[in-house]
A and B are shown apart, each in its own frame.
Chain A
Amino acid sequence: MRFAIRHTGCNAERVGILTGFTRLPNASIETPSAALLTQSGSVAHLTAEVLAKVFSNPQLVWVPLSNSAHLETGLKAQGESLAKFIGLSESVTCATLHCMNDITPPGHFEVDMVPVWTKHGKKMINAERYMELMEVFKPDILLAIADSRTTLTDGLKRNTKAVDRTCNMLNICVKKYKASNYLKNSLLVGVIAGTGTMSKCKNCIQNILTYREAIGGVALAGLTDGTEESLNIGIDKLEDIFKDINKALPNDLVKFIDGCWSPDVVVTAIQYGWDIFDGSYPAKLTNAGHALALNFDVNQATTELCLLDLNDAKYKEDFRPVLEGCQCLSCKKHTRAYICHLLNTREMLASVLLSIHNLHHFDQMFVHARNNIASNTFVIYKNHIVNQYMEYKQMQDKAKENVEKPESESEQAKKKICVSNEPVEA
């Protein structure tokens, strides 16, 4: 695997290209980019046939063990590769431990073991077992096993344990990786844990960097456990972390970020040199019945919010596409009214059409990011995206306030009635 940086912008943002995958010699992944999140090996709601209608070039698919460990028996029988087994032979596969859209409950650790929360309950897994599974999965890229699901509000004690455990497990992963005939040709990614305590986090980075010859990339974790609170930590705090940790890393590593981050966070991370994102965000939008509708043209004023809640009955007779001008299959053929109807009737096609749009549109955000980096206009683009998202957030907060107020008033009214009724009933 080769990673070449083609252009670095005014800050640390950069355009790169991943090539030389042993299984797919002709495939290339341009960065910055987002992977496609899978569930049981399939991109959620999309068959290989439909996915091919959305993307013509090879994509990076993200395969969390927490939702795909049950593929082991079949994969073993097949003996070739994960990509072929899941019907996505032309895609580059990246295996990892957790699905970023799931909330990881705290605790449940054992010495040198981490819990994986699957549909069939909790499974304890150590580095040996993880690498044994990787040997069966045969991914093109693998993230090392780590104690990675902590948040920025976790304290020193928790982060110390997270880093110790992560370092120990990485040591085993590297050993197994080097010893494996298949895996040593794939890209091994070290995972940065304990991010809530910078000194500990730096220890984790140091340990990763002792394996420079084996490790081709790093993944920044330890930021979120999947809860809303951890994801809403605020862009300022995250910005500092993206900046500091990037500075502590050599330039030639591919830099991944784990987590279901909204567009404002993603473009901020890109500005500080982060290359690959896990793709859980568009999947989360789809599951909520939301459609992403960012305006990528910095010269054009935005007229609508950048997120549409198509569950809303106001779209019932809206025969426009989700996003005017969008070139995705859903927007070229279908309307907001139709998707609204499909959501209302709980039809599976709603998720299919939303997935198509959200994955296409999220990918377009990266296409435009790369173009803007190449033309040294990235900061303008970044601010354009951040502003749109902020506007949406503000509107949402306002809407929440409006909803909460009358509710509390009516509750008060109820209480009053209760109080006044009491003596009568008594």
Chain B
Amino acid sequence: MAFKTPSLSFFVQAECKTTRARSGVMKLPHYSVKTPVFMPVGTQGTMKGLLPEQLEDLDCEIILGNTYHLGNRPGTDVLEKAGGLHKFMSWKRALLTDSGGFQMVSLLKLAEITEEGVKFKSPYDNSEIMLTPEKSIEIQNCIGADIIMQLDDVVQTTYQDYNRIKEATERTSRWLDRCLKAHKRPSEQNIFPIVQGLLNGELREKSAREHMTKNVNGFAIGGLSGGESKDEFWPMVHLSTGVLDKYRPRYLMGVGMAIDLVVCVALGVDMFDCVFPTRTARFGCALTSKGQLNLKQKKYSMDLNPIDKDCNCSTCKTYTRAYLHCIVTMETVACHLLSVHNIAFQMRLMQKMRENIENGTFPEFVHNFVNELYSNGNIPCWVINSLKSVGIHI
């Protein structure tokens, strides 16, 4: 099964016989990315203190940049002169940028959304700026990421007003057309439309169906992971992956906790991004298959084990929990060490899922994963229900 265009080809290599999970390769202009994939977030053209070669060593194949931040600093002038973000930050593999719309709404209280675009006051000089779909694409064309996002009309996920949600969903479709029309580099960059509709199944289905009619190479599922309950969250993912065709990659925005990754891969998602692994690293938290360790805790002060003895990252090979305990939240080196470990954890989890999908053992993997994480037996209802919806009975 293959989907081929000059800027993106997607080869599904194996499909799980029970769930919707699949593994594949997404060939992008800068790199061929194995899916399902987790994409770490490097907001301002850098991955929180890690060198590009460290990310390569960690097997990161695609990372994120934020259009809003990069558009401000270093700015499109500099990026254009540098020859795009890849060259500016010396990253040879694939990149994805968001539309900038999310930051407008989340960071700026003064944002006003009209049919034309998002109007907001610049936090730098207080001038009024209008981010239109055309402008967002213009900046993203300049940044030059392999995958770029349409500007969508962002509403807080837990927002209740039906009319506003309907307006936002429909406007997102209209803005998609404007984005596609404004796109100057279709042979090098792929615009992904964003399925909206928040927690309203009817609107979300309509949004997904409409995006399906467009000439695009992949889809994003947006408007989730914004404070809603897990019971509300997973049916929306399930619904979206049910409508979107299986020939093109599906990207679920802003999701990165281990259990969410496992469930959503089972629901048929191919791509994820989240700031969580690197953010939590800065607070001294390390990820393991049994949950998180907060290394600041006194109980680690004499613990001579690595974070995870089964982890083969450079941090676990060299450093003890006792030493990390001494430096977390104090030295930048501690952030780097935990970011390396946490990204390695995410990458290993994705790799294990790919292997199990290819070996036809994905349902068994999910069983084991859930049982290890919730070794106390308290498996959350949403995990049981979501997995049941794709044929795994925990």
Give the interface centre of B73, B77, B336 by most chain A CB atoms within 10 Å: B336
B320 contacts which of A70, A74, A347 (Cβ < 8 Å)?
Answer: A74
Q: Is the CB of B340 within 8 A of A47?
A: yes
Q: Is the CB of B336 within 8 A of A40?
A: no
Q: Which of B298-348 contact A (CB under 8 A)?
A: 301-302, 304, 314-315, 318-320, 322-323, 325-327, 330-333, 335-337, 340
Which stretch (A245-253, A334-342, A398-406) binds chain B? A334-342
Subset of 19 A-B contacts with CB under 8 Å: A39-B333, A40-B333, A42-B331, A45-B333, A46-B333, A47-B333, A50-B51, A53-B51, A74-B320, A77-B322, A87-B319, A335-B82, A337-B88, A338-B82, A338-B90, A342-B44, A344-B74, A347-B44, A348-B48
A316 to B76, CA, bound (A): 12
Given A42-B333, A45-B332, A316-B74 in contact, is the A349-B46 Cβ separation under 8 Å? yes
Q: Is the CB of B44 within 8 A of A345?
A: yes
Which B residues are CB-close (under 8 A) to A352? 49, 51, 332, 336
B78 contacts which of A78, A316, A348 (Cβ < 8 Å)?
Answer: A316
B54 within 8 A of A: yes
Q: Within the complex, what minimum Cβ distance (angstroms) separates B40 from chain A? A: 14
Instruction: Give residues in A with beta carbon < 8 Å to B.
Output: 39-50, 53, 70-71, 73-74, 76-78, 85-87, 119, 316-317, 319, 329, 333-335, 337-338, 341-342, 344-345, 347-349, 351-352
Besides A53-B51, A342-B46, A351-B332, 8 other CB < 8 A contacts? A47-B337, A48-B319, A74-B325, A74-B326, A87-B319, A337-B82, A345-B69, A348-B336
A47 to B332, CA, bound (A): 9
Instruction: Give residues in B with beta carbon < 8 Å to A.
Output: 44-54, 69, 73-74, 77-78, 81-82, 88-90, 301-302, 304, 314-315, 318-320, 322-323, 325-327, 330-333, 335-337, 340
Give the interface centre of A39, A49, A70, A351 by most chain B CB atoms within 10 Å: A49
A396 to B326, CA, bound (A): 39
Which B residues are CB-close (under 8 A) to A317? 77-78, 81
Q: Is the CB of A337 within 8 A of B78?
A: yes
The 5 tightest CB contacts between A and B, nearest first, are A348-B49, A74-B322, A77-B302, A49-B314, A42-B333
Q: Is the CB of A329 within 8 A of B304?
A: no
Which residue on B lies nearest to A316, using beta carbons? B78
A73 contacts which of B69, B301, B331 (Cβ < 8 Å)?
Answer: B301
Q: Within the complex, what minimum Cβ distance (angstroms) separates B214 from chain A? A: 35
A74 to B330, CA, bound (A): 16
Q: Is the CB of B302 within 8 A of A338?
A: no
Given A85-B320, A329-B51 in contact, is the A341-B332 Cβ separation under 8 Å? no
A341 to B90, CA, bound (A): 13
Given A41-B323, A47-B314, A87-B323 in contact, is the A74-B333 Cβ separation under 8 Å? no
Q: Is the CB of A341 within 8 A of B78?
A: yes
Q: Within the complex, what minimum Cβ distance (angstroms) separates B261 from chain A? A: 26
Given A40-B326, A347-B44 in contact, is the A77-B304 Cβ separation under 8 Å? yes
Given A42-B327, A319-B81 in contact, is the A348-B51 Cβ separation under 8 Å? no
A349 to B54, CA, bound (A): 12
